[in-house]
Structure 1
Amino acid sequence: MKKPEILSNELVAESRLFKVEQLELRFSNGELRTYERMRGGRTGAVMVVPMIDAEHMLLVREYAAGTHRYELGFPKGLIDLGEEAAAAANRELQEEIGFAARTLQPLMQVALAPSYFASNMDIFLALDLYPSQLEGDEPEPLEIVKWPIADVDGLLARVDFSESRSITALFLARKSLKLDR
């Protein structure tokens, strides 16, 4: 299919965290439409499934303002300007769980709501971890939770494990480790 032609792109709202742009589009059949989307960052983001050993992964519990509760998920964060995705993944590991990885295996790049948000996240599997701590930007210490990767059902049954990106990362890691049922 031929992509629609962008007739105009205008910034219509902005906050400290978000920018909303309005796109005027013409589709190949002549239809005109106005779309709004959140303008994504230029660098992207990463999420990492850290395997502390062959059977256990590490998750973090941290406050999520969107749901106003503590959520269990995988280490994640933004890629700094000029930083490679793998370097950002290793930095986030050190900031959030106090480990670095000798092996970072790319699993997949996912879109975060492509109809409304222009941003991607690179998901990695982290293997051969070793202690290494960097200071992070979290407002409070994160709780680290060791979880058996074989207990998918137990993790999915938890109310505090609900983020779709973490669920995606879990299944991608299991597939990569050849643990699919």
Structure 2
Amino acid sequence: MASDKHKPEILAAEVVAESRLFKIESLDLRFSNGVERTYERMKPSGRHAVLVVPVTAQGDLLLVREYAAGTDRYELGFPKGLIDPGESASEAANRELKEEIGFGARELRPLKEVVLAPSYFSSKMTLFLARDLYPESLAGDEPEPLEIVRWPLSQAEELVTHLDFAEARSITALFLALRVLHSEE
């Protein structure tokens, strides 16, 4: 098993494509056995994100349905967003809850830090479980109002088979949240 001390040497790094949101970087690498290869990745931005599984006192999960350009359809998932400069992950999680579902959380429990596709992206996302919700809204940056969907926690495992609930990060967060909730019963 290779350790970080045997990471490939970066011989050259160059931005080969750029858009308003993304920069694609080409990396010329030399591995510890002398083999050289060129890899491409999204250039690290240093900004990370959060995703929150909110659970109401009535035992409902709160999800949002919003348009996703990548799939060109409306997707059902948990509130999420980027961490703003100077903001902690838990502060960002609470802000995103207020912007997307109109609730804050007195209890935010980190579940896990995940990476979407480590071969291409370095950005991390911290998954949270949010409880003890209270009404509070902040203006968000979404181009249209988000549809809030209440889903009974007792039927959470059925959510995984729902056609619109397909985002891997939301599915991962749901299973991690259920593990915590079941361990407290």
- TM-superposed deviation, 1:179: 6.2
One of 112, 121, 124 as aligned partner of 1:120: 124
Aligned residues: 180
1:159 is the counterpart of 2:163: yes
What is the distance in 2 between the residues matched to 1:111 and 1:23?
A: 20
TM-score, normalisation: structure 1:
0.95
- TM-superposed deviation, 1:54: 6.0
Do the aligned residues in 2 keep the contact of 1:150 with 1:179 (CA within 8 Å)? no
Cross-structure match for 2:113: 109
1:4 is the counterpart of 2:25: no
SS at match of 2:158: helix
What is the distance in 1 between the residues matched to 2:180 and 2:157?
A: 18
SS at match of 2:182: coil
- TM-superposed deviation, 1:39: 1.7
Cross-structure match for 2:96: 92
What is the distance in 2 between the residues matched to 1:25 and 1:79?
A: 31
Uncovered stretches (5+) of structure 1, i.e. residues with no partner: none
Cross-structure match for 1:55: 59
Cross-structure match for 2:140: 136
- TM-superposed deviation, 1:87: 0.3
What is the distance in 2 between the residues matched to 1:159 and 1:4?
A: 41
**Shift in alpha-carbon separation, 1:104–1:170, aligned structure 2, 3 A:** same
1:18 is the counterpart of 2:17: no
What is the distance in 1 between the residues matched to 2:45 and 2:150?
A: 31
1:82 is the counterpart of 2:96: no
Q: Which amino acid aligns with 1:49?
A: V
Cross-structure match for 1:147: 151
What is the distance in 1 between the residues matched to 2:165 and 2:44?
A: 25
Do the aligned residues in 2 keep the contact of 1:48 with 1:76 (CA within 8 Å)? yes
Cross-structure match for 2:182: 178
Q: Which amino acid aligns with 1:108?
A: K
TM-score, normalisation: structure 2:
0.93
One of 15, 26, 37 as aligned partner of 2:41: 37
What is the distance in 2 between the residues matched to 1:58 and 1:152?
A: 11
SS at match of 2:154: coil
SS at match of 2:51: strand
CA RMSD across the alignment: 1.4
What is the distance in 2 between the residues matched to 1:64 and 1:125?
A: 23
Percent of pairs with identical residues: 65
1:46-71 CA distance string (max 9 Å, x none): 00000112621100000011111100
Q: Which amino acid aligns with 1:95?
A: E
Cross-structure match for 1:28: 32
